[in-house]
Amino acid sequence: MLVVQKYGGTSVGSLERIQNVANKVAKNKDENKDLVVVVSAMSGETNKLIDYAHYFSKNPSPREMDLLLSSGERVTAALLAIALNEMGYKAIALTGRQAGITTDTTHTYARIKEIKTDRIKKEIEDGNIVIVAGFQGINDKGEITTLGRGGSDLSAVALAGALSADACEIYSDVDGVYTTDPRIEPKAKKLDFISYDEMLELSSLGAKVLQNRSVELAKKMGVKIIAKSTFSDNEGTIIADKKEGEDMEELLVSGVALDKNQARVSLRGVTDRPGIAAEIFEKLAQKNINVDMIIQNASKDGKTNLGFTIPQNQLLEAKKVIESFDHDLEGSDYDEWVAKVSVVGVGMKSHSGVAAVAFKALADNNINIEMISTSEIKISMIIDEKFGELAVRLLHEAYGLDK
C-alpha cells in the first residue's frame, strides 16, 4: 500500500513538531506502508522569506524569489529525514527537481506539467521513506519554480496521482471539513465525506482547508484526499467523487459559507443598448476585477438598472471604471457592507424547493435578500453584512446540519 502524506506549516512549525511528525511517519512505516511524505515550510517561514526580499526591493525578480522561497520546504524535508534516520528508519529527502516534478516557466505561480516518478520509485524499492520538499519544481530551462501559495497541497496531490497512490492524506491543524465555520456556529459538524465540487465551492467561499488548485487537480486525476489533523487521531474528511443518488440518505446540503469580502455596485438609468453590458464587464475584466453576481432589471423607457458584486478590495478600481461610463448612466452607488451567504450541496441537483427553504429562513427573521444567484449545487444570497453570522446560523439550522 502506497500512501502520500502531506504535513502543513503548523504541523512542522517547530523542531518538536517535526519530531512529532517523524513519530507519526515511523508508525505508518511500521504498518508496512510505502510512504511519500510532502512537507511545507515551517509556519511563518515563507512569509519571513518574502519580508527579507522586500527589505531590499519592492519588486524582487521572480526567478530569485523562487530560489529563495523553495528553501523553506527544503529545510523541513531535510530535518524530517534526519530525524527519521536517527530513529533507525531509512529515509531520503528530495527537492522538487530530484522528485521529478517539472513545471511550466511561470515563476512564483508555476503549473505542474509532468512528474517523472523513476527516482521516487527507486528510492521506495530501496526501502526508503521518501520525503519531498513541497511547493516546488523545475522548469525545462533548469530553473527552480514554486507553485503559488499553499502549493504543497498541490505537490502532494500531483504525486499521489502520478504514483497511483492508494491515498493522499493532507495533515493540518484542523481535523477536517465542517458544515460551516465553528467559530460562527458552534454546532457545526465535521463532515465524513464531501465531493470535489462541493469542496471547491466551499473553499472559494472561505473554508480554507485545502488549496483550491489541489482540489481541482484531485478531481481531474481522481485522487481521493483525506483531510486530517496532525494533532489528533480523529477520522478526518474524505474528499472524493460523489455519485448522485448513490446514498439515499445523502445530505441535501453539505455546508453553509459566509464571505464578507463583498461589495455591491448599483448602476441606475443605464442606456439600454446592445453592447453596453459587454463594454462595462469587459473593462472590469481588463482591470482583473472579479465580478460575481449580476442582476439586470427589465428596462423601461430605454433605461435599465444593473447591479453586481465584486471583492471589497477592488472597489476603488471598479469605481474608476464605472466613472468612465458617466455618459451612459444616470447614477451609481456602492455598498461595502454586504455579505454573501451560500448554501452548497450536490443533493440540490435532484430535489426541488431547496432554495425556498433558505429564502424562508431569512425572511422569517426579517433579513432582506438583495441579490440571489444559483448554480446546480449552490445558492448564494447577498445580504446586509451585519446579519452575516446570524444568517449562517439560521441556514445551518434550516437544513438540519446541526443534527
Where does this chain bind ligand ASP (CB under 6 A)? 9, 40-41, 46, 72, 134-135, 149-153
Least CB distance to ligand ASP at residue 72 (A): 6
Query: Looking at beta carbons only, is 7 or 308 nearer to Mg ion?
Result: 7
Interface pattern 149-168 for Mg ion (x via CB under 5 A)? -x------------------
Query: Looking at beta carbons only, is 150 or 347 nearer to Mg ion?
Result: 150
Burial class (CB in 10 A: 0-12, 13-18, 19+), 248: exposed
DSSP labels, 120-136: HHHHHHTTPEEEEESSE
Query: Looking at beta carbons only, is 150 or 161 nearer to Mg ion?
Result: 150
Q: In 3D, which of 155, 156, 196 has the Cα closest to residue 177?
A: 196
CA distance 104 to 92: 26
CA distance 176 to 206: 14
Beta strands (DSSP E) in 181-302 are 193-195, 225-229, 237-240, 255-271, 294-296
Site for Mg ion in 97-156 (CB under 5 A): 150
Least CB distance to Mg ion at residue 322 (A): 36
Query: Looking at beta carbons only, is 63 or 149 nearer to ligand ASP?
Result: 149
Burial class (CB in 10 A: 0-12, 13-18, 19+), 21: buried
Q: In 3D, which of 133, 129, 136 has the Cα closest to residue 42?
A: 133
Query: Looking at beta carbons only, is 7 or 399 nearer to ligand ASP?
Result: 7
Least CB distance to ligand ASP at residue 76 (A): 9
Q: Identify the residue whose cell numbers are 523553506.
A: 72
Q: Which does 149 bind (CB under 5 to 8 A by kind): Mg ion, ligand ASP, none?
A: ligand ASP
Answer yes or no whether residue 8 interacts with Mg ion by CB under 5 A: yes
Least CB distance to Mg ion at residue 207 (A): 13
Least CB distance to ligand ASP at residue 188 (A): 25
Query: Looking at beta carbons only, is 70 or 309 nearer to ligand ASP?
Result: 70
CA distance 53 to 50: 5
C-alpha cell at 110: 508555476
DSSP classification of residue 289: -
Q: Which does 134 bind (CB under 5 to 8 A by kind): Mg ion, ligand ASP, none?
A: ligand ASP
Q: Which does 46 bind (CB under 5 to 8 A by kind): Mg ion, ligand ASP, none?
A: ligand ASP
Least CB distance to Mg ion at residue 40 (A): 6
Query: Looking at beta carbons only, is 46 or 342 nearer to ligand ASP?
Result: 46
CB of 344 closer than 8 Å to CB of 378: yes
C-alpha cell at 215: 482540489
Q: Which does 34 bind (CB under 5 to 8 A by kind): ligand ASP, Mg ion, none?
A: none
Least CB distance to ligand ASP at residue 133 (A): 10
Q: In 3D, which of 258, 252, 299, 254 has the Cα closest to residue 276?
A: 299
**What is the side-by-side order of every strand in the sheet holding 144-146?**
112-115, 101-103, 136-139, 144-146
Q: Which does 41 bind (CB under 5 to 8 A by kind): Mg ion, ligand ASP, none?
A: ligand ASP
Least CB distance to ligand ASP at residue 211 (A): 7
Query: Looking at beta carbons only, is 159 or 358 nearer to Mg ion?
Result: 159
Q: Identify the residue whose cell numbers are 439550522.
A: 397
Least CB distance to Mg ion at residue 99 (A): 18
CA distance 359 to 347: 18
CB of 175 closer than 8 Å to CB of 232: yes
Q: Which does 96 bind (CB under 5 to 8 A by kind): Mg ion, ligand ASP, none?
A: none
Query: Looking at beta carbons only, is 46 or 305 nearer to ligand ASP?
Result: 46
Which residues of the shown chain bind Mg ion in the complex (CB under 5 A)?
A: 8, 150
